[in-house]
A and B are shown apart, each in its own frame.
Chain A
């Protein structure tokens, strides 16, 4: 624990000589602990006093005052490398990083050749490297460059993520610094902080996969420095420097091979069929007995042969249809902006009954326990008897409901535009309520253990279905109205920042994210080992769901806001280009 101060040396009253004063506050209440700490501090001072190198700060003095100890060091105008990495948007250039790496090899080599005993720095990492105003590196913090006590249970030294495996065993050779330098270069070129990754996992994050602008030669050098076995690495930092210099000369560090990505099918995908309606399709289709059912903003619900896209029938309403139809016992249930819940015979396309609400319906019906649950812009959740078409009850909410209710364990869950979220029992009484900061347009998906939904407050929520307590929150880049889906231990959701996210369900850790070129307002679905999701950029994306790797994409002529339906190896997707497409999954 400590701070570094910028101070002026008053021994030189006529000039401004700036020094850095490193302060360490000894807060330990135990006298033995305190003593050990002071000793460590003095060791750093003594070590520094014996070193002379342009990349090592000069030491002027050290002293202790009560519970504080101080080192007076050369002041370095500049910024540490970690701050530079973090403050740079995008990647640092390879040329820049290579220059620093070569200078770091130099100073490490100086330390390794120190007499009588070599000094192993042991804590090479971006935050211990200052870049001064001339762009040169200065190594700071010699706090642990010291003789190593091995064999003590639980000893850890160095910084997790940058340290090589053998350092945990108490072995320290120049090859340990080679590894840590490799880790430092890796961090600088990929922006991926190794402290946040499992140890020794660099091979799982190849440089060029994260930053394709890195040259293959540099990748080879970094890989060699990061070899698990010390004997596989460069024998010394001098040897590593030679290799870096060779690359610098060969590539001129300016000419870089173009970024290459794996083969991806992006064109030439032909739909099996497409069917055109007279206005935008913003919603999601349903399939029933070989018929694809989909609503359009031309106010019609269409039934199309799922095999060949041939028109079967259409049913007119008086408003746009975004509601996804649900089918039970041969009847189709869906809402329309004409404020009605429509019930239509799947066979004939003729009306069975309708149910009025006092506002446009953009929510989709959920059918359970003999009732239809559907939200409306009239600020009510309606429970309608399936047989009689009569209202069983309605539950008033703070704002319009545009999400689809979710039913689990005899409770109905729904979010609304005010950000309120309700758990209502089958008698229409509130069990509990939760409040997000902005609208909940996203629908809920859940397991017996957890409910998941996104909100316009840019958060993906996981709630306890029994009491509404928050299990975790995952921060999205921007608001989301996309409904999550679940597969294995993952939760997937889109957001208006254009990303499709995969998050681990138990830990809320991000597994991957995939960038589309516009907002992702529709919802992803999983089929076999793929995830399918549309984007406002007009494309339907098919990704490997475990890795987020693009398999193919299919471009439509308009934004996609609905959710794909995958059935029997065929994907169906509606687009605001008025069409619904069928594609091979």
Chain B
């Protein structure tokens, strides 16, 4: 091990440092682009990698966020199927037992999805599933709705869950946690739509984006898991960004760290784990007003 570390971090025996006198010129835009977009070397085995991190923040005592991350790679002669499930749930307010709701949400959704896929993924069977990704996610959300109403009636939680199978990401979403696509060339795309009062007012043009920033009721949701009799989650399927990252987070991150800083934290970090830590640190440095949860996922190859 020590040998390995020396090899990794030590200098070559006998080599003496010489001043680097090579001329350097600024890279052209094209060269930069080539480097940036070429971050994914070809891998024979397509695989999913992920990291997650969470913090209670600086101003709250209770952590009402819940987080779940499952990443698997299965490969063999019959092919190669990355499978992952990522969930962020942000329980709603104060005395209303939000932490119970968010915990029930992630466990119920994950349990439901894994049970559905168990037969098809972990048994020797060649048939395709007779349920669609979107039907499974809808079933999971409905199950979670029931379990929250049973465990903590009156409480509620956001839910942003991403099921990854091969190159398809199927998202189920309620509330104002978010899923993003972050690209190495510096673009960021919000793929979910907040079910918050402020977002809806902005969509309707009743308030401007600027007014939305300072809107007094930023936390009010019009749709949440556990609330209401009929729940209509947003469910949709997108292609995994390649090259790029899938990020799920609660408003403890997106509400306080700017998109620019999110992109920088991710693209400048050597690993996904470090990127997650940096994002949490950034949110806490900005005051950490709320619980923070973040998951980053990358599909390599």
What's the minimum C-beta distance from A312 to chain B, rounded to whole angstroms? 45
Q: Does A1 contact B (CB under 8 A)?
A: yes
Residues of A close to B100: CB separation below 8 A: 30, 33
- In the complex the two chains form, what is the Cα distance from A316 to B178 in whole Å? 62
Contact mask B48-92 → A, CB, 8 Å, 1/0? 000000000000000000000000000000010100000000001
- Given known contacts A33-B154, A37-B154, A507 and B236 CB-to-CB distance under 8 angstroms: yes
Q: Does B237 contact A (CB under 8 A)?
A: yes
Closest chain A residue, CB of each to CB of B165: A469
Q: Does A315 contact B (CB under 8 A)?
A: no
Residues of A close to B132: CB separation below 8 A: 462, 470-473
- Given known contacts A160-B223, A473-B132, A153 and B93 CB-to-CB distance under 8 angstroms: yes
Q: Does B284 contact A (CB under 8 A)?
A: no
Q: Does A155 contact B (CB under 8 A)?
A: yes
Q: Does A464 contact B (CB under 8 A)?
A: yes
Closest chain B residue, CB of each to CB of A507: B236
Residues of A close to B95: CB separation below 8 A: 32, 36, 152
What's the minimum C-beta distance from A119 to chain B, rounded to whole angstroms? 20
Closest chain B residue, CB of each to CB of A421: B128
Restricting to B205-244, which residues have a CB under 8 Å from any CB of A?
206, 217, 219-224, 227-230, 232, 234-239
- Given known contacts A1-B149, A30-B97, A153 and B219 CB-to-CB distance under 8 angstroms: yes
State whether B152 touches A152 (Cβ < 8 A): no
State whether A152 touches B165 (Cβ < 8 A): no
Q: Does A198 contact B (CB under 8 A)?
A: yes
Restricting to B38-55, which residues have a CB under 8 Å from any CB of A?
none
Residues of A close to B167: CB separation below 8 A: 449, 464, 466
Interface centre among B153, B201, B228, B230 (most CB of A within 10 A): B153
A-B contact count (CB 8 A): 151
Q: Does A271 contact B (CB under 8 A)?
A: no
Restricting to B72-131, which residues have a CB under 8 Å from any CB of A?
79, 81, 92-98, 100, 128-131
- Given known contacts A29-B151, A33-B152, A169 and B98 CB-to-CB distance under 8 angstroms: no
State whether B217 touches A1 (Cβ < 8 A): no
State whether A471 touches B154 (Cβ < 8 A): no
Q: Does B139 contact A (CB under 8 A)?
A: no
Q: Does B204 contact A (CB under 8 A)?
A: yes
Residues of B close to A152: CB separation below 8 A: 93-96
- Given known contacts A27-B153, A28-B153, A228 and B206 CB-to-CB distance under 8 angstroms: yes
- In the complex the two chains form, what is the Cα distance from A29 to B128 in whole Å? 40
Restricting to B186-217, which residues have a CB under 8 Å from any CB of A?
197, 200-201, 203-204, 206, 217
Closest chain B residue, CB of each to CB of A37: B153
Majority secondary structure, A binding face: loop
Residues of A close to B224: CB separation below 8 A: 154, 156
State whether A472 touches B153 (Cβ < 8 A): no
Residues of B in contact with A (beta carbons under 8 Å apart): 79, 81, 92-98, 100, 128-135, 149-156, 165-168, 170, 197, 200-201, 203-204, 206, 217, 219-224, 227-230, 232, 234-239
Ordered by A's residue number, 12 sampled pairs between the chains whose C-beta atoms are within 8 Å are A37-B153, A154-B156, A155-B220, A160-B223, A193-B230, A449-B167, A450-B237, A467-B79, A470-B128, A472-B135, A506-B237, A507-B236
Residues of A in contact with B (beta carbons under 8 Å apart): 1, 26-30, 32-33, 36-37, 40, 127, 152-156, 159-160, 165, 168-170, 193, 195-196, 198-200, 228, 432-435, 448-450, 462, 464, 466-473, 504, 506-508
* Given A156-B224, A464-B167, 19 further pairs, Cβ under 8 A: A27-B151, A33-B155, A36-B154, A127-B229, A152-B94, A154-B224, A156-B220, A165-B200, A196-B230, A199-B222, A432-B128, A464-B168, A469-B166, A470-B133, A473-B132, A506-B237, A507-B234, A507-B236, A508-B134
